[in-house]
Amino acid sequence: MVTHERSSADMARYRVGYEAEPLRESELAANPLAQFDAWFDEAVMAGLPEPNAIHLATCGTGDPVGPTLRAVLAKSVTADGIRFFTNTESTKGRQLAQNPAVAASFTWFPVHRQIHFLATAQPLPRSEVAAYYATRPREAQIGAWASRQSTVLTDRTDLQQRYDHFAHEFADQQDAINVPPYWGGYLLRPHSVEFWQGQPSRLHDRLRFVAQQLADPPLLSASEGWKVERLSP
């Protein structure tokens, strides 16, 4: 049997060559949403796991000071932006209340593609939050009540006990469980959308839609109000 030693101190050897068709201005869709839809469909067809996962960076002014990063699941990307749902008392929720400016990225390594967004986060109306919450599996609804997201736990037993408590409390509510008051959703309104396509020799293609009025960005489906820039890799 042949064994291979692996070391996190030697990551430089894990090099992948990017071989893909170039991303040309002449082939770019007329607006960010159309281009996103085309790439998302191809990610799905390629069988990528959780293609709706995005890395979301937020930065607040309190504890913790500075930026934080995590993966969340986008629930839709439509003309007005990206929607996701979370505990609003979590680290990201607190930071978004302090500073609504965010960066987000879909990263699809198997197809050598990334899509980067710079955006402003807006809380979603409670009616929309409740409508989505009602579609979640019952176990996930109870989990939202059980988790004090981002707070310190003594051990996992504490979390399981809270879940068991709420499972018992809601045992008679078979049709619907109310949305926790601290659980909500956000709409990310992008003003910059960059499409990144890996290329040989690390000469990657980067085409970016930039809103011409950052304070009031156009819809992602709009063909006017965006300018396209090519960035150096």
Which sequence positions are flagged as catalytic? Answer: 202
User: How is 113-178 classified by DSSP, letter by letter?
Assistant: EEEEEEEEEEEPPHHHHHHHHTTS-HHHHHHHHH--TTSPPS-HHHHHHHHHHHHHHTTT--S--P
Could you tell me if 171 and 124 are in contact, meaning their C-beta atoms sit under 8 angstroms apart? no
Q: Which H or E run contains 39?
A: helix 32-45
Could you tell me if 92 and 188 are in contact, meaning their C-beta atoms sit under 8 angstroms apart? no
